[in-house]
Structure 1
Amino acid sequence: MTDVNLPAIAAHTLPVLDQLTKALGVPRDILASPSEIETAWLNLPGILKKIPPVLRTEGMARMCVAVASGLFDSAINYVWNCSIIELREKVKRFGLNVVEQITSKTAFDEQALLDLKDAELLNLCLKLNLITEDGYFFLDQCRDIRNNFSAAHPVVGKIDDHEFIGFANRCAKYALGNEHNPIGVNLAAFMAAIKGGKFSGEQKDQWVHRIGQTHEAQQYLIFGSLHGIYSDPASNEESRVNALSVAAEFAPHFTPKARSDLINRHHDYIAKGDEKRHKASQQFFEKLGMLALLGEHEVHSLISNACKRLFAVHQSFDNFYNEPPFAERLLQLSEQVAIPDTVKDELVETVVTCAAGNYYGVSNAALPHFYKIIKGFSPAEVEIMLNLPSKKGILSERLKGSATCANRYKSLVQLIDVSTVPAKAAAAYAHWIK
């Protein structure tokens, strides 16, 4: 902001006010006193400095003239009118068509904007995040002052120099001096783009930038739409990939409300018995690394099903070639969430049995995934693993019937850090580690 140097008025303007009121035969105190005018005048440059030069319009000039004349009631009207004009411009820059989409107002055009009362305009600006909650609070107070103490209406009293300066400062700070102006995302255009073909890198970055610049309320709406597109069985694969890629850019920074909105949508699918959308929604949360939000029951189901699929492949023909993707998925699930107690046994037995292999060998490409899971075992899971050789099952039979399987199991035990071994399993650990 550039400095504003106002001319001195004490020597020339103030005597004229004395002469004018005397000539008209009216009391001098109908205007602000010389000391009040001087105080307000000295503070004006600091207020004007907060206002961008492009907004120092004729309204600001009229305000200055009114102050110099001791007409504080007129001055607050001029600065308020400038503030309302700028707030309307902020809404227009945000996008009238976008406001229509967000507020569900039909045909929200420029005339509809002009028809808004000041209180309605302030509420709209708050909803669009064009003003802060603090700004709304102070500007709403200014609106009340303007309605009762300005020349726009019959006044109920007079304001002094300090009250005028406070009024003007709030308008400058929260309406005129705030350069942050988010631009809304045209939801119709965004949805058309999502469904119009796979995004290029530049196209995705452009939409991510636009969404990042809009306000939180519209972001929540967009995130919900992305979740809905991904979960919709009718969506083609390119649309689902686009939706996921955009959501992934924001997922690490989702606010509690954004997460809550998505969880509520997910639970709606469960409540409606929409199995296809529910499964796709689970995958959406998984891909974004947000499985922990779904609750222990759903995490149990996901991990249990992943174990069953892995073990089914392990027991089938050509298992050495087919296990890796199933092992990788189980690893991804285990890295996202704490394993529920209800599924620990199934996870440990599945992973260790597959990692120990069978009489013909082991899936070498899947081993790195198994190793990572085993290295991440909790003490309770370590105990389950060390008890498997003495427990009736496929693994114990293989360990008894194949020295190679036993050696592989021993190498798996060696992956475990001794500090995670519970006291109850210490003897079994020592037996296999020697």
Structure 2
Amino acid sequence: MSLPSIPPVSGVISLPATSGLTAPMLTALTQALGVPREVLAADDQIEHAWANLPRLLDRIPAEHRSETLVRMCVAVATGLFDSAINYAWNAAIIELREKVRRFGLTVVPQVTGKSFDERTLLELKDADLLSLCLRLNLIAEEGYYLLDQCRDIRNNFSAAHPSMGALDETEFLAFLNRCAKHALSTEKNPRGVDIQGFIAAVKGTRFNAAQLTAWVDRLAQTFDAQRELLIGTLHGIYCDPAAGEEARVNALWVCERLAPTFSPRTKSDLVDRHHDYLAKGDEPRHKASQLFFERLSLLSLLGETELHALVTSASHNLMSVHNAFNNFYNEPPFAERLNAITSQNRVPESAQFEFVSAVVTCATGNQWGVSNAAVGYYNKMVRSFSPNEIRIMLSLVDSNSIVRSRIVTSTACKKRFADLVRMLDPSSVPANVRPSYDAWAAFH
């Protein structure tokens, strides 16, 4: 005759009913041995634990439901909560060891600074295993705290050692819940990066697309502390004047791909490194670091003073090329650089005059024309002018400026300036220069 089943909760594991089988057996057993029935868990305690067990088992992925958990269920069905705790803990320890293996046994020494292999892993005491998992970010601080409490309970209240006392079904369920949530769940298992291998690869030949993707994925999957360390190392390689160009390019490529996911701590660490170069007067590394932040669209992290210096320097460089020989051919990369700097950041007010003067002067051109390859960058920057930058632009024609002299002497320059004015957003034009704007916008 088959036993009736406990009505399953939708989506939750269904276990067979056992009360009709185990309750009489436990009573007969204790009577046969001449001991009180009370030495074992009461029938209602067993039923309570058994009824709540499916929900907890359902939190454990199928691949972790091993024979150890089967033995735990048998122990629960017979009221042996001290044995059930021991089985649950063994299952948790087995999975934590697997997490370390998935992280990478060869990588662990690079994190801990100590030798580590399979034998070391198997010989680790439970307390040391928990500490290692916390350090590798395989469990969170909350998980470490709660699992460490479970370790203490297992050592003092389970069948593994002489017990200090007996736990009831509620305490067992809480124990299993912690093991399921913090050790047996399918939480993301970061994989450690072989630091030595990674640095060797970065300093080797230039990455192809597959290599770049593989290394970016590995850094994305590792734990936060190691990823932050490696990003700082890549910044150092990029800024090192002695580093080969292929190594610098590899370092930059990896960081560019990861930049959108940089944590606040990573950004803070990079800024600290950058300002260390400045404080030490290491000009080559400082300039390289500025370019690193620029390429990653992180210039806003460096502060207004440094951004002022970058904008004005790029503006001066553009004007120098514009006023030099063969300017139409040489301007585009300098215009592109100025656009790259200003498109990702608000131009500091102290740098706006230099910026606007350079852009408008070069975009207006001279009597021979304008650098066609740079026009796209100039138009983009003009369209993004703030109200104060619009005011500066329109005031150039009323001051002793290169723009004014060219407009006065060249009809083509005058027309190009009017075209630039028409690119401005009318709603951004300040009231005190509105008449000048209207006049130039109407010019043909």
TM-score bucket of the superposed structures, by smaller chain: over 0.9
Once the two structures are overlaid, the 10-residue window that deviates more, 286-295 or 67-76, is 67-76
Q: For the residues of structure 2 that align with 1:55 and 1:407, how far apart are their CA atoms?
A: 75
Specify which of 256, 260, 282 is matched with residue 252 of structure 1.
Answer: 260
RMSD across aligned positions (CA): 2.2
**Equivalent residue, structure 1, for 2:138:** 130
Specify which of 170, 173, 184 is matched with residue 165 of structure 1.
Answer: 173
Measured after TM superposition, the shift of residue 5 of structure 1 is: 5.7
Specify which of 387, 397, 404 is matched with residue 396 of structure 1.
Answer: 404
CA separation of 1:13/1:411 partners in 2, compared to 1, >3 Å: closer, same or farther?
Answer: closer
1:110 and 2:123 matched: no
**Residue type at the aligned position of 1:13:** T
**Equivalent residue, structure 1, for 2:47:** 38
Measured after TM superposition, the shift of residue 134 of structure 1 is: 4.2
Once the two structures are overlaid, the 10-residue window that deviates more, 325-334 or 119-128, is 119-128
Cα distance per residue 1:139-194 (max 9 Å; x no partner): 23322322332223343332111221221132123212326322222121111111
Cα distance per residue 1:383-425 (max 9 Å; x no partner): 1111112222322233333333333222222222222211111
CA separation of 1:397/1:11 partners in 2, compared to 1, >3 Å: closer, same or farther?
Answer: closer
**Equivalent residue, structure 2, for 1:298:** 306
Kindly indicate whether the alpha-carbon contact (under 8 Å) linking 1:63 and 1:78 is maintained by their aligned counterparts in 2: yes
Q: For the residues of structure 2 that align with 1:359 and 1:8, how far apart are their CA atoms?
A: 96
Kindly indicate whether the alpha-carbon contact (under 8 Å) linking 1:359 and 1:404 is maintained by their aligned counterparts in 2: yes
Q: How many residues end up aligned between the 2 structures?
A: 432
- 1:220-299 superposed matches below 5 A: 220-299=228-307
Cα distance per residue 1:206-258 (max 9 Å; x no partner): 22222222222222122212212211112211112111112111212222222
**Equivalent residue, structure 1, for 2:350:** 342
Measured after TM superposition, the shift of residue 92 of structure 1 is: 1.3
**Equivalent residue, structure 2, for 1:21:** 30
Q: For the residues of structure 1 that align with 2:424 and 2:290, how far apart are their CA atoms?
A: 31
Q: For the residues of structure 1 that align with 2:367 and 2:67, how far apart are their CA atoms?
A: 91
**Equivalent residue, structure 2, for 1:414:** 422
**Residue type at the aligned position of 1:39:** H
Unaligned runs of 5+ in 1: none
1:75 and 2:75 matched: no
Q: For the residues of structure 2 that align with 1:195 and 1:131, how far apart are their CA atoms?
A: 33
**Equivalent residue, structure 2, for 1:88:** 97
Identity between Structure 1 and Structure 2 (%): 56
Specify which of 327, 332, 335 is matched with residue 324 of structure 1.
Answer: 332
Q: SS at 2:183's partner residue?
A: helix
Kindly indicate whether the alpha-carbon contact (under 8 Å) linking 1:127 and 1:217 is maintained by their aligned counterparts in 2: no
Kindly indicate whether the alpha-carbon contact (under 8 Å) linking 1:375 and 1:416 is maintained by their aligned counterparts in 2: yes
CA separation of 1:55/1:427 partners in 2, compared to 1, >3 Å: closer, same or farther?
Answer: closer
**Residue type at the aligned position of 1:305:** S
Measured after TM superposition, the shift of residue 365 of structure 1 is: 2.0
**Residue type at the aligned position of 1:328:** E
Q: SS at 1:309's partner residue?
A: helix
Unaligned runs of 5+ in 2: 1-10
Specify which of 64, 67, 70 is matched with residue 61 of structure 1.
Answer: 70
**Equivalent residue, structure 1, for 2:372:** 364
Measured after TM superposition, the shift of residue 340 of structure 1 is: 0.3
Q: For the residues of structure 2 that align with 1:260 and 1:150, how far apart are their CA atoms?
A: 47
Q: For the residues of structure 1 that align with 2:325 and 2:65, how far apart are their CA atoms?
A: 79
**Residue type at the aligned position of 2:19:** A
Q: For the residues of structure 2 that align with 1:78 and 1:426, how far apart are their CA atoms?
A: 81
CA separation of 1:418/1:42 partners in 2, compared to 1, >3 Å: closer, same or farther?
Answer: closer
Q: For the residues of structure 2 that align with 1:316 and 1:368, how far apart are their CA atoms?
A: 21
Measured after TM superposition, the shift of residue 4 of structure 1 is: 5.8
Cα distance per residue 1:78-110 (max 9 Å; x no partner): 21122112101111111122222123x221223
**Residue type at the aligned position of 1:218:** Q
**Equivalent residue, structure 2, for 1:50:** 59
**Equivalent residue, structure 1, for 2:432:** 424
Once the two structures are overlaid, the 10-residue window that deviates more, 226-235 or 277-286, is 226-235
Kindly indicate whether the alpha-carbon contact (under 8 Å) linking 1:194 and 1:243 is maintained by their aligned counterparts in 2: yes
**Residue type at the aligned position of 1:146:** R
**Residue type at the aligned position of 2:119:** Q
Q: TM-score, normalised by structure 1?
A: 0.92
**Equivalent residue, structure 1, for 2:219:** 211
Q: For the residues of structure 1 that align with 2:87 and 2:174, how far apart are their CA atoms?
A: 15
Specify which of 304, 318, 322 is matched with residue 310 of structure 1.
Answer: 318
